[in-house]
Amino acid sequence: MILKFSLLRVLIIFSLVVLLPLIQNQWLNLYLFDINNFTIYKFLYFISGLICPILVCLNSLNSFTSYEIFKNKNKTFVSGKLLLLITSILLILLSTLIHNYIFININLIFNRFIIGSNGLLHVELDKYLLIVLVISFLLIFKKVKLLIKKIILVNYFIFSTVIWYLKINEILLNDSYLFNNILKIDNINYINIFLLLLIEIVYFIWSYVSNGSNLSDWKIQIPTNHIFVIFFNIIIFYLLVIFYYSMLSG
């Protein structure tokens, strides 16, 4: 039963990562034959670009969000000042990643659809720090943390859809857009996935630290090796997503 299930998962992953971009590229080629008119192939190509973001969101919600139980037999604990340092670093890092990820998406939308190609939104340092602190505080609460995770995935879906729209319509980003020319249409998909991957990893670590009564007891068990299986699953999944985008026509 386990073997059949594993084989099924391999076949599904292979189909999505390899076959789907091949089919999409064929639809693109057929659409380019009659680029001046609306064709079913352009519609199929556009709709197919939503499949990967939807599956990423569903998989993240189902597999990388609720870390309720950690079966850990290790009796070595972290507590005191070291735990305070770990907690502070994780909250600040995760909050900063979330803020920057959402802000990049908002800036992209404003840059291309609202303000114009030369317009960029800026956040003053004091407001930036305040937002990071507020997010850090909200992440302490379990229900709010789950809500923030859903907001992150909504942001990812919108980000991916906007990138897909820009690519289909051959709309280039302004050369001055964020990160000194790093964010261009050719590699912005990778940056989108990479930022989400970083958030997933830090979110998992924070879920481990804040799991159950860890914070109220002010001590956490040092994780055993099985915890790294979760890291492996997260990284492998998003590497497959990156490989999927690499298969698409540039």
The pLDDT value given to residue 73: 59
Residue 171 or 99, more confident = 99
Residue found under tokens 């939807």: 54
Residue 175, pLDDT above cutoff 50: no
Number of domains in the chain: 1
The pLDDT value given to residue 238: 92
Structural domain of 106 = 49-247
Residue 42 lies in a domain: no
Dihedral (C-alpha) 134, 157, 113, 186: value to the nearest 10 degrees? 110
Question: How does 150-185 read in b/e, with b if 16+ C-beta sit within 10 Å?
Answer: eebbebbebbbebbbebbeeeeebbeebbeeeebee
Q: Span 163-191, mean pLDDT? A: 64
Residue 15 lies in a domain: no
The pLDDT value given to residue 176: 45
Residue 222 lies in a domain: yes
Residue 58: other Cβ atoms inside 10 A: 11
Residue 25 lies in a domain: no
What percentage of the chain has pLDDT greater than the value 70?
Answer: 74
Read off the pLDDT of residues 1-21 as tens digits, 9 standing for 90 and up: 333 434 565 566 666 677 777
Q: What is the DSSP letter of 181?
A: G
pLDDT mean across residues, the chain = 79
Residue 24 lies in a domain: no
Residue 16 lies in a domain: no
Residue 169 lies in a domain: yes
